Each structure stands twice: as C-alpha cells, then as structure tokens.
Amino acid sequence: MNSKPGSVMDATSTASNNMVEAVDVEAVNRADDRHLFESRKAIHPKLAHGFFRRIKWAALVTMLGIYYILPWVRWDRGPSAPNQAVLVDFPHQRFYFFFIEIWPQEVYYITGLLILAAVGLFLVTSLFGRVWCGFACPQTIWTDLFIAVERLVEGDRNKRLRLDQQPWTMGKVIKKVTKHSTWILIAMATGGAWIFYFHDAPTLIKQFFVLEAPLTAYIFMALLTGTTYLLAGFAREQVCTFMCPWPRIQAAMIDEDSLNVMYRDDRGEPRGPHKKNESWEGRGHCIDCKQCVAVCPMGIDIRDGDQLECIQCALCIDACNGVMTKIDLPKGLIAYDTGKNFAARAAGQKQKYNLLRLRIAMYTAVLILVSSIMVFGLLNRTILELNIQRDRNPLYVTLSDGQVRNGYTVKILNKKSTERVFSLTVKGVKAARMRLIGFPEDQSPPLITVKPDSLRAVRVFITLPALEPGAFSLPVTFTATDIGDRTTAQTENVFVGGKP
C-alpha cells in the first residue's frame, strides 16, 4: 500500500489545542485525489459520539428489528388463509399484509406503494438531503453493523490500522477469523430472514434445517448471504459511489433551500492548528484536527464541500461538535445547512429556513393524492368480481336447427374467507337459453358454489334464435348474485351471431 492512510498509522499529534487530538488522516476519496483506475483504499472509520450517532444506532436497531422479526408476526385470517402477517405467497398467488390481501390482478396496489416510496424519497431529499442514504438505506445500515462488529473485534480506528500493518500472528488470525465468521453469521441471518417472507416462517424453518425446504429458499438464502457479506463487508462505500444510481438522481431534488450536511467555511476558514489561549482573531474556527475525516465512512473530507460520495450520515457533525465543545466554541461548524443560508451570511443578511417551497407542496400533493387513491381503493375493494371471456375460436356456432350459440368462460372471484353460492343470470337478450357445463340442466338460475378466497371458472353457453340478417352482435349483461347477502357483480359482454 503506497497511499497515505497506510503510512499514517495511529500517529496523532497535539499540534492543536492541547485538549483535542488531531488525527493524521487523509481523506482517501478526497475530491482532488480521485483516479479512475485504482484499487480501493481501505477506510477505517473512527467511532463518533453524539446526537446523530445515537439516531443511527436507533435506526439500525429499529429497521433490522423489523426486518428480522416481521415474518414471525402472526395475524389471524380464519382457517382458509395463512396466519402470517406479512407473506408473499407465490404458489397461491396472494400477497398478505396484516389486514390487506392482494390478488394478482390487484397488483396496482404495489404500483401505488412504489409511487409512494419514490415520491416520499423525493420529498425527504428536497427537505433534508440524503437522509435516506445516511440513515435508512440497507447498504448503510448493514455496513454500519459490519463496521460495528469490526470495531468490537479489532478495536477502533487506530487499533485496526495497526492490526492491518502487523505481520500475521496467532492473535491477528483469531481476530480476523472471529470478524469474518460473525459477518457471515449476520449475512446468513439476513438471507435467512428474507426467505421467511415467502413461506410460512415456522414451517419453513423446520424444513430448512432438515433439508426439505424448496430449492429456491436455499438459493435466495445463499444469494443474500453472499451479497450481504460482500457489499457490507468489502464493497461498502463503493456501492454508493459506483453502483447506486440514487446519488446521481437526487441532485435533481436538492435545491438551495434543502438542508444538507455542510461545513460552514465562512466560519471555519482560514483553518489551522490552534494553541490554547491563542486568540481566535483573524482566523477560522476549524482547528484542522481532521476528526471529521476520521469518522467518515465514505473516506471524504466534508470541508471540500458538496460531494457525490457524501451520504450525509452526519457523523462528521457529531465529531466536530465534540471538538467544538472541548475548545469552548459554539457547536455547528459542520451542520445541516442550506445553500441559501451560506449566501445570506455572506451578504450579511438574516438566515432563513424555507420549508414551504413549490416542489415540497407538489411532492406532498402527489403523496396525499396517491395515498388517498390507495386508501379509497383498499376500503372499497370488491370482495366479488365477475370476469367474462367470450370464446373467439369459434366466434359462434350454428346449430342444426339454425339457432346460434356463443360460449363464455365465466370467472367468479370470491375474495371472502367463507364459501359463497352465486346465482348466474343473463340479461339483455330475449329468449336466451343458458346452459352451464357441469351443472344440472333443470336448475334455473344455476347456482355456483365458490370456495373461500378463490376463483371458479365455469363454461357457459347461450343460445339464441338466428339473428336478423345483417346483425353482427347484441349486448348482454351477466349478473352474479350472492344468494346469501344478495351482493351482485355485473359484467357487460356481447353475443355474436353473424359476420361483421
């Protein structure tokens, strides 16, 4: 390794203000030192302490908790449906989410959900910058967890640097093996939790260990184990910088009123080491201790300004605030700030936070609109649907007595969790004779039993006397009526009896 971080080791100096340890660190991804073709330089982020670090721990515990525990939450849906609260049931083509149940033809709810997720992301980004990247993205969360494990096993930044430079000893081997096996265990738990969203979790876990689970379960478990281990253990910040499209897209969402993690260079510059009791006159508040660089998981220097690499995890804010407290200066040399405020301070004007902007209003409006449509759709979700497919081959059949017959496949969708019986009637054509395959001919109207939460397709034939010459088709209306609660579903179709 010929890069600077390797040579810095744990060298610390007390050049600045005796109370603050200045870290000898170079930002490995700093703006003026980026090369296209270059091996990754390892980043060993130092542990930060403070408000945002606590938020990140809380986000990590909450989100991983939800991810790992959710498949085990039960939700009673009666005997005809699974009792797993969140379940994507591919074999039976159902998606369950607590009280919501979605059939394949209702997949537009997923579209709605994706729109909500996207616009929500836009809204949050234009308000607070890359909070998604810094606090909520799975890549950030698992990387954070993996770094925490690394820190637990190998120690904080300085110890890790020293360990990497050491020759291989027994102790080093033990530490590395412990770290990697813990990583792999976490990765396996990650892949393991994923598959439980697609099968009944208690059943699957038993099958899983006696090797009776479906092959796909093992494949996806292996896949997610592998990606977690590689992406959180090794690729880390490279995923954000090189693989993820979001950093490129979100530039369009951020404006001069968006809050972003920024170094206030108007206050910090000119930077330089500072001795205790030295005057602050004529110099900036940045004492160049590089704590902000040391804690950065992305290996950048926030003082270089806005950078694509910055995920805005705000750990540099924590680090800098700690330093400012020690040297009795106000906090917030690095802080969430807006571009407009920089300009305002430069012009000697008052700072303003402008949350109510047009784009915010628009994103909010779209969010409210889409969620209203979804709530409305879910509340008014039909529990009975009638779909009719008319035979097209042949278009119609002429019978021996000259009458004309059309065939239809009638599909009744019973989305209730109880068995229902429907009567089927046809309106709109006079003297129509209806016949169903598999039903007694003397039953009029025919009574069709549909099992709970399922679809039944029935072949229906309608016979009419020959249409008048020149007539092509007649409109017909099918009605399915629940003979219990009298709810109905109607579908329009046509009866074809001649050449167009």
Partner 1 sequence: MAHNKPIDEVSGTSTTGHEWDGIRELDTPLPRWWLWTFYACIAWSVLYWIAMPALPLASDYTRGLLGYSQRQVVQNQLAKAREGQSVYSDKILSTPLDQIEMDPELLEFALASAKSTFGDNCATCHGSGADGGQGYPNLNDDEWLWGGTVSDIHTTLLYGIRSENDETRFSQMPAFLRDELLTRDQVEDLANYVLSLSGRDHDGQAASRTASLYQEQCSACHGSDGTGSRLDGAPSLTDGIWLYGDSYSAIVKSISNMRGGMMPAWGDRLDPATLRSMAVYIHSLGGGE
Question: Contact positions toward partner 1, by CB under 8 A?
Answer: 391, 393-394, 397-402, 405, 407, 435, 437-438, 456-457, 459, 461
Q: Which is nearer to partner 1, 167 or 402 (CB)?
A: 402
Write down the least CB distance from residue 399 to partner 1, Å: 5
- For the CB of residue 466, give the shortest distance to partner 1 in the complex, in Å: 9
| Residue 393: CB minimum distance to partner 1, A | 3
Q: Which two tokens stand for residue 361?
A: 């209003």
Nearer to partner 1, 252 or 397 (CB): 397
User: Shortest gap between Cβ of 228 and partner 1 (angstroms)?
Assistant: 23
Which CB atom, from 2 or from 393, has the smaller least distance to partner 1?
Answer: 393
Residue type at position 125: T
Q: Quote the CA–CA distance of 96 and 88 in Å, as a whole number.
A: 6
Residue 486 beta carbon to partner 1: minimum distance, rounded to whole angstroms: 24
Q: Which is nearer to partner 1, 401 or 468 (CB)?
A: 401
CB of 465 to partner 1, least distance (A): 12
- SS3 letters for the chain? CCCHHHHHCCCEECCCCCCCCEECCCCCCCHHHCCCCCCCCCCCCCCCCCHHHHHHHHHHHHHHHHHHHHHHCECCCCCCCCCECEEEECCCCEEEECCEEECHHHCHHHHHHHHHHHHHHHHHHHHHCCHHHHHHCHHHHHHHHHHHHHHHHHCCHHHHHHHHHCCCCHHHHHHHHHHHHHHHHHHHHHHHHHHCCCCCHHHHHHHHHCCCCCHHHHHHHHHHHHHHHHHHHHHCHHHHHHHCCHHHHHHHCCCCCCCEEEECHHHHCCCCCCCCCCCCCCCCCCCCCCHHHHCCCCCCCHHHCCCCCCCCCCHHHHHHHHHHHHCCCCCCCEEEECHHHHHHHHCCCCCCCCCCCHHHHHHHHHHHHHHHHHHHHHHCCCCEEEEEEECCCCCCEECCCCCEEEEEEEEEEECCCCCEEEEEEEECCCCCEEEECCCCCCCCCCEEEECCCEEEEEEEEEEECCCCCCCCEEEEEEEEEECCCCCEEEEEEEEECCCC
Shortest Å distance, C-beta 36 to partner 1:
16
- In contact, 292 and 321? CB cutoff 8 Å: no
Q: How far is the CB of 397 from partner 1 (least distance, A)?
A: 4
Choice between 279 and 393, CB closer to partner 1:
393
| Shorter beta-carbon distance to partner 1: residue 438 or 500 | 438
Considering all CA atoms of the chain, what is the largest pairwise distance in Å, rounded to the nearest integer? 113
Of 293 and 424, the one with the shorter C-beta distance to partner 1 is 424
| Least spacing, CB of residue 38 vs partner 1, in Å | 16
* Residue 39 or 380 having the CB closest to partner 1: 39
- State the nearest-atom distance from the C-beta of 449 to partner 1, in Å: 8
Which residues 6+ apart lie within 8 Å of 152 measured at CB? none
**For partner 1, which is the closer residue by CB, 197 or 461?**
461
C-alpha to C-alpha distance for 287 and 329, rounded to whole angstroms: 11
Nearer to partner 1 (CB atom), residue 62 or residue 449: 449
Name which of 328 and 441 has its Cβ closer to partner 1: 441
Cα 315 from Cα 295, distance rounded (Å): 7
To partner 1, the closest distance from the beta carbon of 420 in angstroms equals: 14
Closest listed residue to residue 353, CA positions, set 242, 260, 464: 260
Nearer to partner 1, 380 or 393 (CB): 393
Q: State the nearest-atom distance from the C-beta of 147 to partner 1, in Å.
A: 28
